[in-house]
């Protein structure tokens, strides 16, 4: 990180500020040439717009008035202590929470590409086809490496063998796994190492060409080398995909993400450019967390 | 972006398949309900009656009798054996006292075995069989589970024991019957007796009890044991004071449910404990030894006898459905009792 | 302290004094190890450690009970069952020595002929119906039209006369020999018993005259030329009669007559074979050592308490058990697995909490109650249902016998359903959540996820559930005893799917039915134990296979 301190301070100004108890929403600032952050940030309306979101597990409120705008082709990190609701929010984005009984959104909306994903008539299955997800624990199907990736394609209605073959190869290449497994595509995926399994899961998500990839602590079960590989991969992928990553590791958030959202007790405490959040957090709770005093 | 459904066929296919699966599920439940319903519907008139005390006490408290059906005075009479004899005796006495009257002693035109009276000895016999085998099975089963879960380490012997338990669970009940017959009835010379039935049934449910008990013991948090041991208690004290009381509700419920199930088994007691008919009740014995070594009548066996071994006609239906309903109720009561017992124990030892 | 009761003693002591290191069975635990520095040496400690060992030994011994039972089952089944093979071997030897086998060869000519005669009377019945119903003839006219046929049929049926006469003549001689051998054998046993009891003088009074089979069988063997003549004359006569067989105008009747003629000619052609077998037969040829095992395992007949010869072939019972079980599985697998999939994947939690106890409740229905339901309701219900005209297309409908493999199979299905359901549901529920989520996250629907990911992942569990369900039904006794119809015969599989409506007998049923009536120690009694052994081994094998599949294909818990 070789950015000048000045850039950092200017980044802090664009940080969406809110106190833990306050649920007012500061809309993303209109497009202004941002000199901060890596790359060129634009302030166009985000790809994903979350407004006033309340989420409940039964009677327990898990998310409280979340307002968040996530931009396309960026890596956005969700950080915060356990139980802060970051994974819940992530799973709201592809409606995985639909699978949990008695859980659901009571208020607020999520729009992706301008469309409300919880609107009547929205098919969560169509939604999930465009929003890929990678889980905390690698979860390859007990099938061959090839079949793991082909599964999603078949679900999408691909029938042509040659096309499936080429897509499998392409996504394995994109996930930087091709060179390691191209000679054993038809071996059981459970024979791969933990890091390879996780990259396979990423490849599986890539194969169906989603617009957004959600990553739920994708490296928490991996060793540092495997983690480094995945982080490298994330850097590659953000050229083409919008990536949202939930992580426990603040170093990881700092390394891979462009923007960071800090959650605490179901509330979004602070959201802004990653460097600003880490170097110059505006909220004392954020500061306490990123400096390791709790969490 | 558009997240509307793209292919409309998918929803329809999905709901059809799920509806089929659902239909299969409820078809099973319907079958069970129909069977119980039929038996309850046809058995209820035998067991209950419209006037006080609403329960057919004769059926529940007397022994099976032969039913005599005959015509007398132009009326059709249906009398049980004892009543029939009394009736004839009275008529004979009347005739002797009144030589000139035209009292004719009717001859039994039709008699139907077991179709009159009740099933009291069968109920009693079943209760004795179930209680005895329950005590034995709980004793052996819970002790085994304690050993396996609290004392034993993983080694060849425990693996062998677990293998035996697993395999024992799959042995057909009739094979247990043959085994009980070979070992208890013939080899040990116990003859067809309560004891032979107890052991046969107990051995048969042993796998169920052991498995249930082990699960209940496993559910007691490790911390309880460690806390007790850390206080200087011995292993046995720990088990007795800090493990068993908490595991007991679980042990009792699942075991007794299992036992209630095998109490319904007929095959194992056919050659080991059950008599087709026996006049004495189990407690009508001279000494304790006789009590243990007597055969008894048992409800499931009685149902088998009255539904296959005797000629079928309109009069046998009464005892068939009546016995079956009583048997079902009995099994349900045993299960209910176990659940009540569990609830009481739970209240006592909350955790 | 001295006045305290024995019962509380060990506890108090235990609390006061920890055990010396090494004598405590729990010494491997960190708690035991941490006490060792205290090193008490009182007599109390020794006593208490003895008590601890005693308690441990007590529980250990009770744990061995299951092992013991399994061993005892094996021992007692084999103890009572294995002598069957010796006894059966002797019976088969006697069967040959007394000439029964010889007569059975000859009798085959008779049985074949009976089959043909039966076919003739069937043809007559159809011809008569044809004349009366479609030809509108009066009964007397129809009979008159059939006079020639009747004449033919009578002559055909009488032609076997010489053979039948021979069979009954030498049959008596052979059973005579057999009875005498049995009497002498009984005497020998009685004498042995008396000798064992030390009553030598009484034993001496029993005179045993061993049967001289060589001499006794002579008259039977001497009938060979007569047999030959009888067979040949029968063949000649049948051929002559067939040559003058009447014919029918009706197409189907003519065709039937044609098949009859074909069969009759084949029968006649087979008669010289019987003749050859008769001349080649020697009573002194020793019975092969495995004859009894072969006759048990492959015997197609289970005939007991016969004046002629008892046969203990397990095939009719085994096929009967198998047929009833397969019918049960054919019903129970789709329903049970379907319900398991529904309950674990589709049903809401509240619905689950209705379905699961209900199925538990079905599994608690005593089998004798289900059997009674079959005999009292279901058998009749199925039969009357089968008589409705719009179900006519189903194989085997209308059902003739009220109690048959199908009736039993339906109820057995209900018995195996809870087993299959519970285990399959467990297997499906235990498929890691992560797989489910991964599939959903790729945009798969619930149906796709269930059918393509979850069910395959749980397949080993489902298969082992089905296997255990199979074990459950093949070992089930009361339902088949009450509802299967108890006809001891191999079901006629040539009937196609209609075979399911035939009455069968089963391995479990035969034990339950005949055990109470046999003479202890007789061959029949032992045969029942061997059937029990077969069941036992079968159940162990099924159990083993189920465990093996479960373990082999279990998902690695990722």
ipTM of the prediction = 0.89
User: What six digits make up the tokens of C508?
Assistant: 């479990």
Calculate Rg over the CA atoms of chain C. Answer: 34
**Residues sharing a CB contact under 8 Å with residue B41, sequence separation 6 or more, in sequence order:** none
Cα A165 → chain centroid: 28
H or E stretch including A61?
Answer: strand A60-70
State the Cα torsion C271-C276-C280-C286 to the nearest 10°.
-40
- The closest alpha carbon to B300, from B197, B158, B168, belongs to B197
Question: Given an 8 Å threshold on Cβ–Cβ distance, is B229 in contact with C31?
Answer: yes
Task: Enter the DSSP assignment of C314.
Answer: S
- Chain A hits for B2, CB-CB cut-off 8 Å, are 115, 126
Are A25 and A67 in contact by the 8 Å Cβ rule? The answer is yes
Concatenated DSSP letters of A194-260: HHHHHHHHHHHHHHT--SEEEEESTTTTS-HHHHHHHHHHHHHHTTTSEEEEE-S-HHHHHHH-SEE
A126: closest CA of chain B, how far (Å): 5
The Cα C489–Cα C473 span in angstroms is 20
Taking residues C233-262, report their average pLDDT.
Answer: 84
The count of other CB atoms within 10 Å of the CB of residue C120 is 20
Chain CA centroid to CA B4, Å: 58
Long-range contacts of B127-130 (CB under 8 A, 24+ apart): B127/B330, B128/B194, B128/B282, B128/B296, B129/B194, B129/B197, B129/B198, B129/B201, B129/B263, B129/B269, B129/B273, B129/B296, B129/B298, B130/B201, B130/B259, B130/B260, B130/B263, B130/B334
A26-40, B86-100, C20-34, C494-508: least confidently modelled range? A26-40
For testing contact with chain A, the best of C438, C440, C457 (most A CBs within 10 A): C438
CB-nearest to C60 from B21, B147, B237 is B147
Could you say which residues of chain A have pLDDT below 50? 1-42
Q: Are B250 and B258 in contact (CB under 8 A)?
A: no
DSSP C117-151: HHHHHHHHHHHHHIIIIIS---HHHHHHHTHHHHH
Cis amide linkage into residue A215, ω under 30° from 0: no
Report helix angle B173-180 to C43-81, nearest 10.
Answer: 100
Higher pLDDT, C29 or B290: B290
The torsion defined by the Cα of B242, B246, B247 and B249, in degrees rounded to 10, comes to: 150
Say if the Cβ atoms of B25 and C355 lie within 8 Å.
Answer: yes
User: What confidence score (pLDDT) does residue B7 get?
Assistant: 60
Is the preceding omega at residue B53 within 30 degrees of 0, hence cis? yes
Which residues from chain A sit within 8 angstroms of residue C452, using beta carbons?
151
Would you tell me which CATH number, out of the four given (3.50.50.60, 3.10.20.600, 1.20.1070.10, 1.10.3720.10), belongs to the domain B120-348? 1.10.3720.10
Nearest to A139 among C348, C438, C556 (CB): C438
Interchain CB distance below 8 Å, A130 and B1: yes
Top residue of C50, C71, C422, C478 to mutate, by most chain B CBs within 10 Å, is C478
Please choose, from the candidates A272, B172, B322, A280, the residue with its C-alpha nearest in 3D space to the C-alpha of residue C367: B172
Considering only CA atoms, which of C504, C520, C91, C514 is closest in space to residue C310? C91
Q: What token pair was written down for B295? A: 């055969």
- Residue A16 and residue A267 in contact, taking contact as beta carbons nearer than 8 Å: no
Q: Is the pLDDT of residue C114 over 50?
A: yes
Written as one string, the DSSP assignment of B65-93 is: EEEEEEEETTEEEEEEHHHHHHHHHHHHH
Report whether C407 contacts C508 (CB < 8 A): no
Q: Is A51 on the interface with B (CB under 8 A)?
A: no
* Inter-chain touch A122–B1, beta carbons under 8 Å: no
Per-residue model confidence (pLDDT) at position B29: 93
Closest CA to B276 of B256, B250, B303, B241: B303
Q: Does residue B70 carry a pLDDT above 70?
A: yes
The answer to whether the CB atoms of B5 and A112 lie below 8 A apart is no
Mean pLDDT of chain B: 83
Tell me if C471 sits within 8 A of B168, measured CB to CB.
no
Long-range contacts of C430-434 (CB under 8 A, 24+ apart): C430/C458, C430/C461, C431/C457, C431/C458, C431/C555, C432/A139, C432/C457, C432/C555, C432/C557, C432/C558, C434/A135, C434/A137, C434/A139, C434/C558
Q: Do A114 and B6 touch (CB under 8 A)?
A: no
CB interface of A with B, residues 74-93, below 8 Å? none
Contact yes or no for B28 and C515 at CB 8 A? no
For B341, other C-beta atoms within 10 Å of its C-beta total: 15
Can you read off the two tokens belonging to residue A226?
Answer: 């495997």
User: Is residue B80 pLDDT above 90, yes or no?
Assistant: no
Contacts of B20 in chain C (CB under 8 A): 338
pLDDT 10s digits, C36-47: 445 556 777 788
Percent of chain B at pLDDT exceeding 90: 18
Distances A129 to C193, C440, C461 between C-alpha atoms, Å: 87, 9, 30
Domain definitions of chain B by residue range: 65-117, 120-348
Place of tokens 């009674």: C372
Which distant-in-sequence residues (6+ apart) come within 8 Å of C86 by Cβ? C292
Q: Give the pLDDT of residue A138.
A: 85
Q: What is the mean pLDDT of residues B125-135?
A: 88
How far is residue C475's CA from residue B203's CA, in Å, rounded to a whole number? 17
**pLDDT tens for each residue of C195-207:** 888 888 877 787 7
pLDDT at C187: 85
Min distance A29 CA to chain B CA atoms (Å): 23
Please judge whether A127 and B3 are an interchain contact, meaning their C-beta atoms are less than 8 angstroms apart: yes
User: Per-residue pLDDT tens for C51-89?
Assistant: 888 888 888 888 888 889 999 999 999 998 999 998 888
CATH superfamily of A5-141+207-290: P-loop containing nucleotide triphosphate hydrolases (3.40.50.300)
| Cβ-contact C316, C297 below 8 angstroms | no
Residues of B in contact with A157 (CB under 8 A): 7
Domains in chain C, please, with CATH?
9-79 (no CATH), 89-296 (no CATH), 333-552 (1.10.3720.10)
Note whether A114 contacts B4, CB cutoff 8 Å: no
- Model confidence over C374-388: pLDDT tens digits? 998 998 888 888 888
- Give the tens place of pLDDT for each residue, B114-124: 777 778 888 88
Which residue is associated with the tokens 């008589």? C387
Query: What percentage of chain B carries pLDDT values higher than 70?
Result: 94
- The predicted-structure confidence for B238-254, as pLDDT tens digits, reads as follows 888 888 888 888 888 77
User: Which H or E element spans position A49?
Assistant: strand A48-57
- The answer, for B287 touching chain A at a CB cutoff of 8 Å, is no
Q: Which one of C64, C67, C512 has the shortest CB-CB distance to B267?
A: C512
Average pLDDT over residues B144-154: 87
Q: Is A214 exposed, middle or buried (0-12, 13-18, 19+ CB in 10 A)?
A: buried
What does the pLDDT read at residue A104? 87
Q: Between C515 and C335, where is the model more confident?
A: C335
Give C-chain residues touching B161 at CB under 8 angstroms: 63-64, 66-67
- Locate the chain B residue with the closest alpha carbon to C68: B164
Question: Span B292-315, mean pLDDT?
Answer: 84
- Where is pLDDT greater, at C122 or C395? C122
A104 forms beta bridges with A56
Task: Parse chain A into domains and list their residue ranges.
Answer: 5-141+207-290
Question: Is the distance from CB of A193 to CB of C558 less than 8 angstroms?
Answer: no
Contacts of C432 in chain A (CB under 8 A): 139
Using the Cβ of A109 and the Cβ atoms of chain B, whether some distance falls under 8 Å is answered with no
DSSP state of C307: S
- pLDDT beyond 90 at B34: yes
DSSP state at residue B296? B
Contacts of B7 in chain A (CB under 8 A): 157
Q: Which residues of A184-193 are buried (b: 16+ CB within 10 A; e: fewer)?
A: ebeebbbebe
Contact assessment for residue C353 and residue B39, using Cβ atoms and an 8 Å cutoff: no
* Disruptive mutation site among B222, B232, B234 for chain C (greatest number of C CBs within 10 Å): B234
pLDDT at C279: 83
- Report the residue of chain A nearest C349, measured CA to CA: A101
- pLDDT tens sequence across C127-168: 888 888 877 888 888 888 888 888 888 888 888 888 888 888
Residue A130 at interface with chain B, using a CB cutoff of 8 Å: yes
What share of residues in chain A are helix, strand, coil (percent, to 5)? 35, 25, 40
Do C365 and B267 make contact, defined as CB atoms within 8 angstroms?
no
The chains found to touch C (3+ Cβ pairs under 8 angstroms) are A, B
Q: Across the interface, do B6 and A126 touch by the CB < 8 Å criterion?
A: yes
* Chain A: residue whose CA lies nearest to B11: A123
Inter-chain touch B1–A123, beta carbons under 8 Å = no
Neighbours of chain B (3+ CB pairs under 8 A): A, C
CA distances from A112 to A69, C135, C341 (A): 10, 84, 34
Contact A142 C448 (CB under 8 A): no
Q: Which of C476, C472, C91, C480 is nearest to C296 (CA)?
A: C91
Q: Residues of A with CB below 8 A from B13's CB?
A: none
DSSP state of A98: G
**Residue C438 and residue C293: Cα distance in Å, rounded?**
57
Note whether C339 contacts B21, CB cutoff 8 Å. Answer: yes
Question: What pLDDT score was predicted for residue C29?
Answer: 44
CB-based burial of residue C509 (10 Å sphere; 0-12 exposed, 13-18 middle, 19+ buried)? buried
Backbone angles phi, psi at A113, to 5 degrees: 60, 30
SS3 at position C275 = helix
Q: Nearest C-alpha of chain A: how many angstroms from C428? A: 14
């Amino acid at each position: 990180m070789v950015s000048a301190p000045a850039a950092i301070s200017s980044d802090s100004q664009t940080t969406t500020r809110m106190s833990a108890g306050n649920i007012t929403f500061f809309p993303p600032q209109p497009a202004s040439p941002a000199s901060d952050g890596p790359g060129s940030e634009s302030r166009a309306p985000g790809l994903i717009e979350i407004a006033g979101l309340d989420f409940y597990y039964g009677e327990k409120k898990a998310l409280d008035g979340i307002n968040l705008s996530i931009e396309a082709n960026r890596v956005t990190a969700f950080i915060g202590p356990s139980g802060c609701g970051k994974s819940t929010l992530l799973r709201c984005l592809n409606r995985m929470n639909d699978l949990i009984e008695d859980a659901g959104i009571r208020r607020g909306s999520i729009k992706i590409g301008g469309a409300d994903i919880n609107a009547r008539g929205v098919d969560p299955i169509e939604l999930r086809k465009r929003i890929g997800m990678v889980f905390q624990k690698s979860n390859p199907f007990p099938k061959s490496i090839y079949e793991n990736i082909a599964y999603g394609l078949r679900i999408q209605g691909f029938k042509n063998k040659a096309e499936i073959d080429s897509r499998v190869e392409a996504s394995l290449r994109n996930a930087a796994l091709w060179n390691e497994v191209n000679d054993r595509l038809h071996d059981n995926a459970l024979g791969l190492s933990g890091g390879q399994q996780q990259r396979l899961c990423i490849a599986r998500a890539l194969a169906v060409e989603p617009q957004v990839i959600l990553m739920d602590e994708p490296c928490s079960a991996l060793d540092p080398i495997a983690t480094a590989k995945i982080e490298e991969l994330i850097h590659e992928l953000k050229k083409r995909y919008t990536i949202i990553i939930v992580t426990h590791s603040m170093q990881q958030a700092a390394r891979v993400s462009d923007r960071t959202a800090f959650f605490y007790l179901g509330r979004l405490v602070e959201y802004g450019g990653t460097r600003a959040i880490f170097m110059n957090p505006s909220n004392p709770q954020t500061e306490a967390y990123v400096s390791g005093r709790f969490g | 972006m558009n997240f509307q459904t793209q292919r409309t066929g998918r929803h329809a296919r999905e709901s059809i398949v799920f509806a089929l699966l659902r239909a299969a599920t409820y078809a099973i439940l319907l079958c069970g309900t129909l069977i119980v319903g039929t038996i309850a519907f046809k058995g209820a008139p035998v067991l209950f009656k419209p006037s006080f005390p609403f329960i057919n006490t004769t059926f529940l408290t007397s022994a099976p009798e032969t039913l005599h059906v005959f015509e007398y005075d132009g009326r059709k009479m249906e009398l049980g054996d004892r009543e029939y004899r009394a009736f004839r005796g009275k008529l004979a006495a009347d005739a002797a006292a009144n030589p000139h009257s035209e009292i004719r002693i009717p001859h039994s035109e039709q008699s139907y075995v077991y179709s009159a009276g009740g099933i009291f000895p069968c109920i009693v016999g079943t209760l004795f069989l179930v209680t005895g085998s329950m005590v034995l099975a709980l004793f052996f089963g819970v002790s085994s589970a304690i050993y396996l879960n609290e004392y034993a380490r993983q080694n060849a012997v425990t693996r062998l024991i677990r293998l035996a338990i697993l395999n024992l669970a799959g042995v057909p009940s009739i094979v247990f019957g043959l085994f009980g017959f070979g070992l208890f009835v013939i080899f040990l010379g116990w003859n067809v007796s309560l004891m032979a039935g107890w052991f046969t049934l107990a051995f048969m449910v042993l796998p169920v009890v052991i498995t249930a008990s082990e699960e209940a013991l496993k559910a007691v948090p490790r911390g309880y044991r460690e806390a007790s041991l850390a206080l200087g208690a011995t292993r046995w004290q720990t088990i007795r004071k800090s493990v068993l009381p908490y595991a007991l509700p679980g042990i009792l419920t699942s075991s007794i449910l299992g036992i209630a199930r095998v109490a319904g088994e007929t095959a194992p007691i056919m050659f080991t404990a059950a008599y087709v008919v026996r006049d004495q009740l189990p407690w009508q014995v001279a000494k304790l030894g006789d009590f243990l070594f007597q055969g008894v009548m048992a409800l499931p066996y009685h149902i088998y006898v009255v539904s296959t071994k005797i000629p079928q006609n309109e009069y046998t239906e009464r005892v068939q459905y009546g016995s079956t309903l009583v048997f079902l109720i009995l099994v349900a009561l045993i299960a209910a009792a176990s659940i009540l017992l569990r609830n009481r124990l739970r209240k006592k030892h909350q955790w | 302290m001295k006045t305290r009761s024995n019962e509380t003693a060990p506890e108090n002591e235990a609390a006061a004094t920890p055990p010396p290191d090494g004598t405590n069975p729990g010494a491997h635990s960190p708690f035991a190890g941490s006490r060792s520095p205290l090193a008490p040496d009182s007599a109390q400690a020794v006593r208490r450690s003895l008590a601890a060992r005693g308690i441990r030994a007590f529980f250990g011994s009770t744990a061995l009970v299951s092992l013991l039972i399994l061993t005892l089952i094996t021992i007692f089944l084999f103890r009572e069952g294995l002598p069957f093979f010796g006894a059966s071997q002797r019976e088969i030897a006697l069967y040959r020595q007394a000439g029964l086998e010889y007569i059975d060869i000859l009798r085959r000519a008779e049985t074949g002929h009976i089959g043909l005669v039966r076919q003739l009377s069937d043809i007559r019945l159809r011809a008569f119906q044809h004349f009366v119903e479609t030809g509108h003839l009066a009964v007397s006219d129809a009979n008159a039209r059939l006079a020639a046929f009747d004449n033919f049929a009578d002559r055909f049926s009488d032609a076997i006369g010489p053979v039948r006469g021979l069979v009954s003549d030498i049959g008596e001689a052979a059973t005579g020999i057999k009875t005498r051998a049995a009497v002498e054998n009984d005497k020998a046993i009685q004498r042995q018993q008396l000798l064992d009891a030390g009553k030598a003088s009484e034993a001496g009074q029993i005179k045993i005259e061993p049967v001289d089979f060589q001499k006794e069988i002579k008259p039977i063997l001497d009938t060979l030329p007569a047999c030959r003549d009888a067979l040949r004359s029968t063949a000649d006569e049948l051929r002559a009669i067939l040559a003058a067989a009447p014919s029918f105008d009706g197409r189907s009747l003519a065709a039937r007559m044609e098949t009859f003629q074909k069969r009759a000619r084949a029968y006649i052609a087979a008669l010289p074979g019987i003749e050859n077998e008769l001349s080649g037969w020697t009573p002194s040829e020793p019975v092969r050592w495995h004859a009894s095992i072969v006759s048990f395992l492959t015997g197609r007949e289970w005939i007991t308490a016969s004046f002629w010869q008892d046969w203990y072939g397990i095939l009719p019972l085994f096929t009967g058990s198998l047929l009833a079980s397969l019918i049960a599985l054919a019903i129970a697998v789709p329903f049970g697995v379907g319900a398991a999939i529904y309950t674990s994947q589709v049903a809401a939690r509240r619905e689950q909490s209705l379905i699961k106890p209900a199925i538990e409740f079905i599994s608690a229905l005593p089998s004798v109650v289900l059997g009674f339901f079959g005999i009292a309701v279901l058998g009749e219900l199925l039969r009357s249902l089968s008589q409705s005209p719009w179900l006519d297309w189903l194989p085997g409908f209308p059902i003739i016998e009220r109690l048959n493999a199908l009736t039993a199979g339906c109820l057995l299905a209900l018995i195996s359903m809870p087993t299959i359901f519970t285990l399959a549901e467990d297997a499906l529920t235990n498929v890691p959540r992560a797989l489910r989520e991964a599939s959903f996250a790729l945009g798969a629907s619930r149906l796709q996820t269930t059918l393509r990911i979850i069910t395959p992942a749980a397949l080993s569990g489902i298969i082992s559930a089905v296997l255990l369900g199979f074990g459950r039904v093949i070992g089930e006794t009361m339902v088949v005893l009450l509802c299967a119809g108890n006809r001891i015969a191999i079901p006629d599989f040539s009937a196609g799917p209609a075979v399911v409506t035939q009455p069968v007998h089963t391995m479990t049923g035969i034990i339950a039915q005949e055990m109470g009536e046999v003479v202890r120690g007789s061959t029949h009694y032992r045969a029942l134990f061997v059937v029990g052994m077969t069941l036992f081994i079968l159940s162990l094998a099924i159990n083993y296979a189920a465990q093996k599949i479960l373990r082999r294909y279990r998902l690695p818990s990722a």
